[in-house]
Structure 1
Amino acid sequence: MKTRFAVRLSASLLPLLMGATPALAEAPAPPEIEVVGHPDPEGLLPDQTAPRSVSAIATDFISKQAPTLNAFQLVNLLPGANVAMTDPYGLSVSSSLTLRGLGQDEIGVLMEGAPQNDIGYYYAYPAQFADNENVKAVTLTQGAVDIDSPLVGTAGGLLSLTLDDPRARRGAQLDLSAGSYNEGRLFARYDTGLLGTSGLRGFVSYSFNRADNWRGAGFDTRQHVDAKLLDEWGNGNRASISVSFNDADTSTYPGATLAQWQAQGRGFNYDARYTDGDTNYWRLYRSPFRNLYAAAPVHLTLGDGLTFDSTGYFQLGYGNSPYGTQLTTTGNYQGTTLLTQPIVLPGAEDGVATVLGNYTGQQMRAGDVAKLIWHPGAHTITAGVWFDYGTDHDIQSYTPIDAGGTPIDIWGYRSNAIKTADGQLLAYENERTITVTKGVFVADSIAVTPRLGLDLGFKGVGVLHSGMNYLPGPQSVVHFASFAALPRAALHYRLDDRQQVFANVATNFRAPDEYTLYNSYDGGALAGAGTTALRNEYAVSEELGYRFIGPVLSLSLTGFHYHFRNRQLATVIDADGALVNSTVNAGSQTSYGLDAEVDYRPVRGFSVYLSGEYLHARIDSDLPVDGDLLPTSGRHAVSSPTVQFGLGTTYDRGRLFGSTALKYVGRQYSTFTNDESIAGYATLDLSIGVHLAGLVDANRTDLRLNVINATNPHVLSGVEAISTNAQDTTGRNGTPISGTAPVYYIGSGRAFVVTLARAF
């Protein structure tokens, strides 16, 4: 329940956090304004009516968490969400999210209705998303996503961020944070209020975050800008444009094999000091990225029960995921061509030099999803189209380093990269891909009775990859087109004012990522053959659910079932020092289980939230390897813990507020043969704070302490790179199949963060 009270702005406030900016202080005496008080912390299980599994967190919960947490960390408590983090502040790109055992490349991400996933590899990077102070809600759909979602490959579900609207009154916010590992963060936001009689209002924010690595040498920095301009008019008409810009220079924490973890534990790190020939020096593993995201959603009421919605979007991004390696002045190849002339390697000794191996990606993406919604009688008919165009240029090049091991250019720009004797860029990989996605969808939501609703829908999606391999060799142009027909249906029945049941059946597909199309070369020989024969992954899923929404207790139970054909699993392999993306066709898979969440609010200002998941995920077929069949049928699917549960509490009444978040994740297998796994583990986050409003003036002023990973568990938090089998195995037909060690994320350590947040 929200309480509201009126106050007058004061023109004489204390400086900085206890005072307004001069521009605000010089304003004329304002009229009375409403200030939102302290709402009950009932934001972990918002009311839902969709005929599918949906979980969400809102501002009430987000505002109590550490401001450094990214969107993956924020949804960690929700059912089915398995989050593996390598640093407590969520700044590193070394992280993972799975839903119901389905990986990050199977989970769509939207922000203000615009897709955030990488167009080539389908991953999304949560450290690039909007600052938490600007996020109004985070919604997690564990199964069937909205039919109009501009995404492919969403069998795992959808993570959707909604930004806060600009406020109707002019104001500002300033948050300062300090914490463990020299963490320091500043966040500042300015709201324009209504701009004259135009109806427009907007906000712009800036944040800067810096922290030392919690293990090993190195540090992370992140600068971020969010802005949103909104106009609302007439009968529900609304248009906005939002922009997010992210500039980060973050560390890549090294993943460990089980043997490395058992031998060194958290001591398994990159080297803190450089010595000649060292390819493991920490400065060779920093990942700088710059990204720009823009979204322009529009909602128009056209009259006679007809509305129009459109979301246009645009993205730009460039970054480097480098590594340390060595080159020789002679004996090099460009693709399959031997370089007869030696290359110039600064700092080479005896013809060998340590260099920065770059993996740079430059992306551009633009698109729009538009739909008409018509309400004739008991029907709600939706028809729409989606168009998406993107380009992705990926290069693995090499950059010199100085005598101290510092790269002369961490961004991997071509102007500073090592060239061949005739001036060409020396590259291990050089490919550019254009991806065009077209979709059409139509749906009808029928109110059969006042209590019973029936949804029917169809979506057709085509994906085209057209690319060029610039390396000399047998491959130049690549082309791959695929199409999928995706029918769906759902039922929703309201038992009474508090109880609902629902059921749905949905289909989904994932086109092979662009990296499967290209050859890779090593020493002039073909190391991996690109293919257009990899089939689309296709999934059929069903859900059956029950919801109860009460004044004190709310709960949701959802049973689910999946069947996959051509299950695609992403991994990373090390090809002679170069990191290469790879996809494994794991054949057929069947999964079923139960998600549950309960929110209990015994007294005003206090809530207890409990979530859990049981997952049975099994591989249905043997895996072809080395001309034989690896015995995988009936094995447990990788990265699919059988049991997870979360326990969260929130308190917000009077001066004090706080929250707890406990999450347990069960055992996870990392190979298809189930011959290696990591044990289950638990994490605990705590927060406690005090509302200071009223001590100086009525403006919101909060002081809080967050403890991330309070119990400081020494664990492996997830699977970074799967393998077919860890131990040497004999195939069904008697062929010896050598084992390869999987790689794991090392779970992050404990951190303390103190934040002073002040509204003006």
Structure 2
Amino acid sequence: MSQRLISAFVAMGMLYGASIHAQQDQTATQTAPGSQVAQATPDPQAIPKPTAKDEVTVTASGEIRSEQSIGSKALLEAAPGTSPIAVLARLPSVSVTSADPYGAYEWALRISVRGFNQNQLGFTLDDVPLGDMSYGNLNGLHISRAIIDENMGRVTLSQGTGALDTASTSNLGGAIQFFSTDPLDQTHVSATQTFGSFRGHRTFARYDSGLLRTHTKFFVDGVYQLSDKWKGAGQINQKYFQINTKLVQFIGNKGVFTFYADYSDRREVDYQDLNKIWTQKLGYNWDNFGDWGKSIQAANACNGVGNYPSPVNVLAASEDPCDAGYYGGSGLRKDFLTYINYKMALTSKLTWKTTAYGHHNDGRGLWFTPYQPTLVSPTVSVSPISLRTTEYGIQRGGFLTALSYESGRHTLEGGVWFEKESFDIARRFYATSLAGPEHSLYSFPSNPFATQWAYNFPTTVYQIHLQDLYKITPSVSVSAGFKTSETNATGNLTAFNTGIPLSATIQASNYAQGSLQSGKAFLPQFGVNWKLNKSNEIFADVAENVRAYQMGGNGIASSPWGTSQAGFDALKNTLKPESSWSEEVGYRYTGARVTAQANYFHVNFSNRLLAIQQGPAIAGGASLLSNVGGVTTNGVDAAASVRIASDWTFYNAITLNKSTYDSDVTTGAGTIATSGKVTVDAPQFLYKDELSYHRKGFDAHIGADFMSKRYFTYTNDSSVDGRFLSDFGTSYHVDEAGLFSEVKLQFNIYNLANAKYYSSIGTNGFIAADPSQVANNTLQVGAPRAFTGTLSVKF
């Protein structure tokens, strides 16, 4: 650990010592086992903010930053199997896109907040870090693999600065915190069966022990989901299996111990990435071949032998028919995540919580590629196609510990996060034959004929935070704090060009190795909240954040190790991690029938990273990750929830956001004119609304979501039009129906108007310009109207 962390550790020690010395030990009030610590020493992160009918929290009264939540009821109103990320699309400044109806297909799921994409946000589950939610996640896992949807208690989004205690090295533009439900106090067995469009079915079952005499309660549940892609041929199943368990043990009347474990096995067949020309000429429903004979014919044509199969043969040579269709691809992920947590009231004013966690991941990205034939020797091939994999492995563990001390007008809080990780990534090729693919899209392949490269990245993360919330008067509170963040990563080349050599000229120097450190010793955060009266308040906050470098192998443009050794040696002493300075000021209104919030925000995003070609590619110039300037964001957003009658609620959210590049980008091939251009995948206008009705056991809602034009090139010469989506859901439940304590019927419709539109963009990254609309197949089209029906029972 570097010396710059010593001062932060000293500050932590002083906080702890001062806290112990400053007060006398007092016995917490005796409470029932089910509410011991929660009543005696409430944890502000564990207790949801009060909301009307536990739906969408438009505003969190008293907070110094913009913070909004979605409760369990609103989460369960979505069709079962819908990603919690997709549900966040209801909130202002949030844009969510996906190629499937439920936001479950990870390759195409995208979320951006105030101009920052998901790789620049922070994500946690019950305080446990989930990494940056990228497809090839190097330091975590997607939320849908970390917890079963039915076990999600609430989701809290901080659109701007994010809380200091968020365990993340990527939260430049805010943080998303997920919280699981606790086991129930009563014994219950519940089961849910869902059927839907595209041969979809989903089965969920859960057992709750209830509160036992040992002051213990737990649940265990599992889910199995299977559906077809909404388009495509051949192997088009999307399936996953998942198990969760959670145990809560009350210890005396001051402590609570929690254990959680999750196992997930997810297997997704890919949708083909598209460009506009392919969509126009091959059709909205165009996808990969899924037929081995057509795939062999296309691969031969790609290599100049014969003609392309229909309908790809309608494409001109300049319209990239070689990439228009493959046999297929898929993403396979197996994850095991667990944590233990202990919360304790040390005194009536001093509380302590500690979490230790571990995560194991084994993943594969499969692609049947026509660019590398199957070899039996360096010069002899038996098939024009091979199965290319990107193989992932994560072994990580860590802990978080924090103290909170309340005394008079002060609330002092400080904590430490430490994580140690080993991340493996490799690029391998597996054999096919003229007769068939030899490998399933649902199975982990074995016995590669070639390993192009393999890396191991040992990494350590240190983060310390300290903050004080001080009430100047009963109406005015100020907060001041900082965090220290440091990430140390080393790239070690463990293999290259093994098996049948893919190249006779490849040497170890073609691959980067070495260590990099990112982070900053002092990242401040300040905020103020002024309650004008019972219903009105204003707030303001500022914060600085930094993002750690991404790890990846040769050719992965977002990684400093994606270049040659010479390139890495050139950048390692000059490269700077991306950072941001965020400011916002807002107004809140909290009334009996209306809750509302409005914000103005300004962000300076600095040291933006981009892979730049160093000289002409034809001459062998490698791409080098480089700092290329910054981005300036200015915007306003607002949300309001109005109880228009006792049973009717109308929700509205609107966002105006403009994020632009500060300067042009100079490359070895010339200058890219990006100064003043709008950033990619950053819509400038968002509007969401929802009308909901609740009466006794009946619920219904209808909602709409509009997103304006988005650019997918840095020079803004290519874009996709705005889109308007609507959805509908209704449910009815009865209590004490015969043998059941509850019976519920639910019906959902996605894309009510059956709109056709471009959904996710940038699935294959972004490029400088694409005037012909064929230079980068990086678009996904949206799913058509989809129906789901669900029957749930509780015993």
TM-score normalised to structure 2 length:
0.81
C-alpha separation in 1, matches of 2:291 and 2:685: 42
1:654 corresponding residue in structure 2 = 696
2:27 corresponding residue in structure 1 = none
Structure 1 position 240 matched with structure 2 position 258: yes
1:502 corresponding residue in structure 2 = 539
Structure 1 position 213 matched with structure 2 position 229: yes
- Structure 1 pair 586–72 and aligned structure 2 pair: CA distance change class (3 A): farther
What's the % identity of the aligned pairs? 22
- Structure 1 pair 612–46 and aligned structure 2 pair: CA distance change class (3 A): closer
Say which SS state the counterpart of residue 76 (structure 1) adopts.
Answer: helix
For residues 49-69 of structure 1, give each alpha carbon's deviation from its aligned partner in whole angstroms, at most 9, with x where no partner exists.
321111111122122210120
Give the counterpart of 2:161 among 144, 147, 150.
144
**Do the aligned partners of 2:66 and 2:159 also contact (CA within 8 Å) in 1?**
yes
For residues 460-491 of structure 1, give each alpha carbon's deviation from its aligned partner in whole angstroms, at most 9, with x where no partner exists.
11111112123242146311112312011000
**Do the aligned partners of 2:560 and 2:568 also contact (CA within 8 Å) in 1?**
no
C-alpha separation in 2, matches of 1:748 and 1:683: 11
Structure 1 position 446 matched with structure 2 position 470: yes
Alpha-carbon shift at residue 124 of structure 1 (Å): 5.2
Aligned pairs (5 A) from 1:403-422: 405-408=436-439, 410=441, 415-418=446-449
Give the counterpart of 2:267 among 233, 245, 249.
249
**Do the aligned partners of 2:660 and 2:676 also contact (CA within 8 Å) in 1?**
yes
Structure 1 position 115 matched with structure 2 position 129: yes
Alpha-carbon shift at residue 402 of structure 1 (Å): 5.2
For residues 689-714 of structure 1, give each alpha carbon's deviation from its aligned partner in whole angstroms, at most 9, with x where no partner exists.
22233553672211111101111211
Give the counterpart of 1:596 among 625, 638, 649.
638
C-alpha separation in 2, matches of 1:595 and 1:571: 34
Structure 1 position 480 matched with structure 2 position 516: yes
2:12 corresponding residue in structure 1 = none
Say which SS state the counterpart of residue 755 (structure 1) adopts.
Answer: strand
1:554 corresponding residue in structure 2 = 595
Amino acid at match of 2:330: R
Give the counterpart of 1:748 among 760, 783, 786.
783
Alpha-carbon shift at residue 604 of structure 1 (Å): 2.5
Say which SS state the counterpart of residue 363 (structure 2) adopts.
Answer: strand
Structure 1 position 301 matched with structure 2 position 317: no
Taking only aligned residues, the RMSD between alpha carbons, in angstroms, comes to 2.9
Structure 1 position 288 matched with structure 2 position 332: yes
C-alpha separation in 1, matches of 2:230 and 2:720: 22
Aligned pairs (5 A) from 1:715-734: 715-720=757-762, 721-727=764-770
For residues 598-635 of structure 1, give each alpha carbon's deviation from its aligned partner in whole angstroms, at most 9, with x where no partner exists.
01112233211111111011111111222532111111
C-alpha separation in 2, matches of 1:581 and 1:411: 33
For residues 668-688 of structure 1, give each alpha carbon's deviation from its aligned partner in whole angstroms, at most 9, with x where no partner exists.
111111111111001111112
- Structure 1 pair 215–369 and aligned structure 2 pair: CA distance change class (3 A): same
Structure 1 position 712 matched with structure 2 position 780: no
Structure 1 position 98 matched with structure 2 position 142: no
Alpha-carbon shift at residue 123 of structure 1 (Å): 7.8
C-alpha separation in 2, matches of 1:203 and 1:581: 50
C-alpha separation in 2, matches of 1:268 and 1:527: 39
Structure 1 position 170 matched with structure 2 position 199: no
Deviates more, 1:269-278 or 1:528-537: 528-537
Structure 1 position 77 matched with structure 2 position 94: no
1:186 corresponding residue in structure 2 = 203
**Do the aligned partners of 2:694 and 2:700 also contact (CA within 8 Å) in 1?**
yes
Give the counterpart of 2:393 among 362, 376, 382.
362
- Structure 1 pair 437–570 and aligned structure 2 pair: CA distance change class (3 A): farther
Give the counterpart of 2:219 among 191, 203, 213.
203
For residues 695-754 of structure 1, give each alpha carbon's deviation from its aligned partner in whole angstroms, at most 9, with x where no partner exists.
53672211111101111211111322443422479xxxxxxxx99436112212221000
Structure 1 position 518 matched with structure 2 position 561: yes
Structure 1 position 437 matched with structure 2 position 425: no
Amino acid at match of 1:513: Q
Alpha-carbon shift at residue 234 of structure 1 (Å): 4.8
1:53 corresponding residue in structure 2 = 66
Amino acid at match of 1:90: G
Larger % of helix: which?
Answer: 2
**Do the aligned partners of 1:668 and 1:718 also contact (CA within 8 Å) in 2?**
no
Aligned length: 684
Structure 1 position 274 matched with structure 2 position 292: yes
- Structure 1 pair 597–232 and aligned structure 2 pair: CA distance change class (3 A): farther
C-alpha separation in 2, matches of 1:188 and 1:200: 21
Amino acid at match of 1:611: A
Structure 1 position 469 matched with structure 2 position 493: yes
- Structure 1 pair 155–268 and aligned structure 2 pair: CA distance change class (3 A): same
For residues 419-477 of structure 1, give each alpha carbon's deviation from its aligned partner in whole angstroms, at most 9, with x where no partner exists.
xxxxxxx2223111111111111111111111111100011111111121232421463
- Structure 1 pair 245–273 and aligned structure 2 pair: CA distance change class (3 A): same
C-alpha separation in 2, matches of 1:546 and 1:277: 62
C-alpha separation in 1, matches of 2:685 and 2:650: 20
For residues 327-359 of structure 1, give each alpha carbon's deviation from its aligned partner in whole angstroms, at most 9, with x where no partner exists.
4577xxxxxxxxxx92598xx43xx44211001
- Structure 1 pair 699–654 and aligned structure 2 pair: CA distance change class (3 A): same
1:422 corresponding residue in structure 2 = none
1:541 corresponding residue in structure 2 = 582
**Do the aligned partners of 1:71 and 1:129 also contact (CA within 8 Å) in 2?**
no
**Do the aligned partners of 1:88 and 1:748 also contact (CA within 8 Å) in 2?**
yes
C-alpha separation in 2, matches of 1:404 and 1:141: 54
C-alpha separation in 2, matches of 1:270 and 1:660: 34
C-alpha separation in 1, matches of 2:518 and 2:161: 21
1:310 corresponding residue in structure 2 = 354
Unaligned runs of 5+ in 1: 1-38, 331-340, 419-425, 730-737
TM-score normalised to structure 1 length:
0.85
Give the counterpart of 1:44 among 56, 59, 79.
56
Structure 1 position 456 matched with structure 2 position 480: yes
Alpha-carbon shift at residue 132 of structure 1 (Å): 2.1
- Structure 1 pair 415–655 and aligned structure 2 pair: CA distance change class (3 A): closer
Amino acid at match of 1:356: L
- Structure 1 pair 407–489 and aligned structure 2 pair: CA distance change class (3 A): farther
Alpha-carbon shift at residue 232 of structure 1 (Å): 3.0
Give the counterpart of 1:394 among 408, 422, 425.
425
**Do the aligned partners of 2:95 and 2:111 also contact (CA within 8 Å) in 1?**
yes
Give the counterpart of 1:380 among 403, 411, 415.
411
Amino acid at match of 1:481: Q
Alpha-carbon shift at residue 138 of structure 1 (Å): 1.2
Amino acid at match of 2:548: A
Say which SS state the counterpart of residue 63 (structure 1) adopts.
Answer: helix
Structure 1 position 226 matched with structure 2 position 250: no
